[in-house]
Structure formats: C-alpha cells, structure tokens
Amino acid sequence: MQTLTDHTVFGDVLAPLQRALSRVRPPKAPGRVLSSEAFISLGVLRHLQGTSALREQIQQLLHLDVNAVERPPLARSTWADALASTERQAVLRAVVAELRAEAAAALPDRLAEIPGLAGRPVRALDGTYQQESAHYPRCTPKQGGEDNPKGHALLAFQNMRIGVIDDVLSETRSHHEMRVLRAYDQRSDALTQERRTLWVVDRGFVNAPFWDAKKRALRATVITRMKKNLCVDSTEGLPIAEHPCNAGVLSDLRIRLTSSQQEWRLIRYRTPGGKELELLSNDFTLLPGVVAFLYGRRWEQEKTHDNWKNDFAVAKAWGKSSVAIANQADLAIITTLLVHLMLARCLQGEPARDEKVLRKQDRRQQGLADRAVGTERPAWSAPLYRYTSKLSRQVLRFFKLAFLKPASPQLYETQLRPLLMAYL
C-alpha cells in the first residue's frame, strides 16, 4: 500500500477516501489482514485498471515491489472474502455517503443556469444489466428459480446536477423494475427519501400511485415518457408562456389519469430533429420546454454506463453473492466520485470539462439536426449547459497508466490537461 500511495498519482486520487474513512466509525473492525482503506483502494485500482479477473490483479501487484516477489502481496481468498463481507458493505455505504456529499459541494452545478429548478435535487434513474460471475449458478424462473435471465440488474441513480452516478441498486432476481424500486424505497438511506427531488425516469418506472405518494409526502415530482396503455379521463389545455425555453412545445395539457387521484400534465414536444415526444409529469412549476430538456439529458446516463462497462470492469460480476455484487457496485461509485474529485482538484478549481468530447458532441448535434431523434439539445440550452457526462477513454487511461508516477502540479498540467483539450 505504501508503494501504491506514497506521493503517487494514485495517492492523490485516494485523498478524499482517506478523509471519508476518518469520519466513518464502523460498528465492528472489518479485519486484521486487510484494512478498510486497503480493501477499498485495491477495488478502486481494479476499476481504474479495468481488470476483470482477480488473479490478474494479484499478478500485477506481485511485480510492483521487486523486493517482495517471492511471496504474493495478497491471497485471492482474502480479498474475495472481504468483497462478500456485510461488515465491509456497511463501511462502503458510509464512504459512498461521505463522498457523495463532498462531490456535491466540490463539483460544478451543471443545472445552475436552467430556469425554474431553484437548487432542487435532480436525479435520473435508469437500469442496465451485468453478466454473472463464472462461479454464479444461475437458476431462472423457467428452471424453477428467481434469477434474471438477462443477468444482474443494476439500477443507477445519477445526480444530474454534478453528472455522476452516486448510488446503484443491484438485484439478481427476475423482478420488475418498479417492484425493485419499491423495495429500495424502504431503506433508510434510499435516495427516494430525499425531499423536493425532481426525478427523470424511463417509462418502465411509470407508476402513478407511487409518484403521487412521493409528491404528497416529500414534494418530489417526476418526468417520464407517456405510455400508450395509460388511460386519460379528461384533459384541459394550459397556456404556453412566451419564453425561449418553450421553442418546440406543441401543447401542454392538464390531464386526469384513471390510475391517479392527482392531476398530471401531458406535454407534446417536437425536437430540433423533428421527432415528436409525449412527456408525462406531475410537476406544474416547470416550463414545458425545461421538462423536455431534462428528459433529453436522461440519455446522457447511458454514457456513464459506457464508462462503467467498457472502462471500469463492471460488465461482469466479481463475486457470486448478492453482497459481493452490491459491494462491487459501491466500489464503482467510489471510483467514479474519486476520479471526478481528482479532476476538479488537479485543475485548480476549474470545471473539468472534456473540451475535445464537447467539440465531438457539437459535431454530433449538427449531424442529428436532419434526423428524427429525441436526444438533441435545444438551441436555447447551448450557452447554459456545456457539459458531458462521459469521461473519455484517454483521460481514464492517464490514471490507468500513470497511477504510480510521482504526483505534482506540473504532471497534471503537462500530461493531464492536454488530454482534456484534444485527442492525441
């Protein structure tokens, strides 16, 4: 651990982790062989390196210290047992909460200039699937079990204000997304218990009674796509304000759903590419154009999924128990937050904008202008929202290849900042 962290780039990446652990008081010592800091640090390194197999990581660590090559630095069973430990899980959850708060304070607010949000928490929710570990004995409902035939489901919660995924719910059973979300809602640390949160979700999470209850109890509201099977009892047209944000809004209707006791709104919107969308929301405080913009930004969560699956080795589970799968997801969250915090620090407080990715994104937006898609950004948002959610592979490659280099401001200015400005 001293070789890995003593005045190295990796040590700089882990600095917020050390502060978070100093504030966490686990109810029970996780173990004498592998400390909490070492366990999390090795998990972060494994994500940064994109190492899918534990044996491969052990072999990599074996060659870091030439004076200790006669003995392995860590037994595979030691780290695997730690990954499946409920005591470690409690520590990981506490560290995630600490880093989430630090990231919210340190990273730039991407939605600060978007009208009508007034500092409200804005979160996107979407799901992806993870391949099971080779040791996982899958048993699907057709075989008499409960396992999901698509793999492990990962419901990712993205903080749209800072552009990072800061919580993940893992589920191995073949349950509907809404059922999984309801079970998550019962947890004391569930993000669905936040007050005044604006949720941007996929149609799979449309459940009017659930969101009605959230609005009554927490003043939390939701934005989603309209489903064809939803029954509308009545409609009433709402005036559309003369505002640049409302360009493309075709209609804004107050509706009554058969499945709800509260009023909802149905917004018809034409994207710059000409695709017409029907958006459903129970929030009447936002301009309809802002509702359409926020739903379009939900697609950026797919970019963070790309980072996870292609760069952070989350595509395949590291263990077979539900605790190990959940702990792997928490380690991925910690890695994401640490990298974003590192970029914010080493660039001396400047927004860590990946300018080359933004230029590529601008070219893509111009190419989308003639296609009927729903993810283009409207023209009014261009000067207000200049961010991308995905970290480019060459930026992540810096941390992968230079993690043992001596840390210095000169290194970050001469080798990291150019990677954010142009492709090599």
Q: For residue 208, is pLDDT > 80?
A: yes
pLDDT at 18: 92
**DSSP type of residue 226:** P
Q: For residue 424, is pLDDT > 80?
A: no
Place of tokens 């035939």: 149
What is the four-CA torsion angle of 6, 304, 19, 169, rounded to 10 degrees? -130
pLDDT in tens, 160-173: 999 888 899 999 99
- Percent share of the chain, pLDDT over 70: 89
Parallel/antiparallel/unpaired status of strands 249-257 and 263-270: antiparallel
Q: For residue 374, is pLDDT > 60?
A: no
Rounded Cα distance between 269 and 296, Å, is 11
pLDDT at 371: 53
Q: For residue 348, is pLDDT > 70?
A: no
Return all residues near 167 (Cβ < 8 A) that are at least 6 apart.
Answer: 96, 100, 156, 157, 191, 333
Task: Tell me the sheet residues that pair with 154.
Answer: 128, 170
Which pLDDT band holds residue 178 (cuts at 50, 70, 90)? very high
0.85 cut: is pTM over it? Answer: yes
Which pLDDT band holds residue 68 (cuts at 50, 70, 90)? low
* SS3 at position 382: coil
pLDDT at 181: 94
Containing 158, the helix (H) or strand (E) segment is strand 152-159
pLDDT at 120: 94
Written as six digits, the tokens of 349 are 């407080």
Q: Are 128 and 365 in contact (CB under 8 A)?
A: no
Rounded Cα distance between 72 and 63, Å, is 9
CB-count exposure of residue 169 (10 Å: 0-12, 13-18, 19+) = buried
Going from N- to C-terminal start, the domains of the chain cover 1-113+321-352+392-424, 114-303
Q: Are 264 and 208 in contact (CB under 8 A)?
A: yes
Which pLDDT band holds residue 352 (cuts at 50, 70, 90)? low
Rounded Cα distance between 78 and 101, Å, is 31
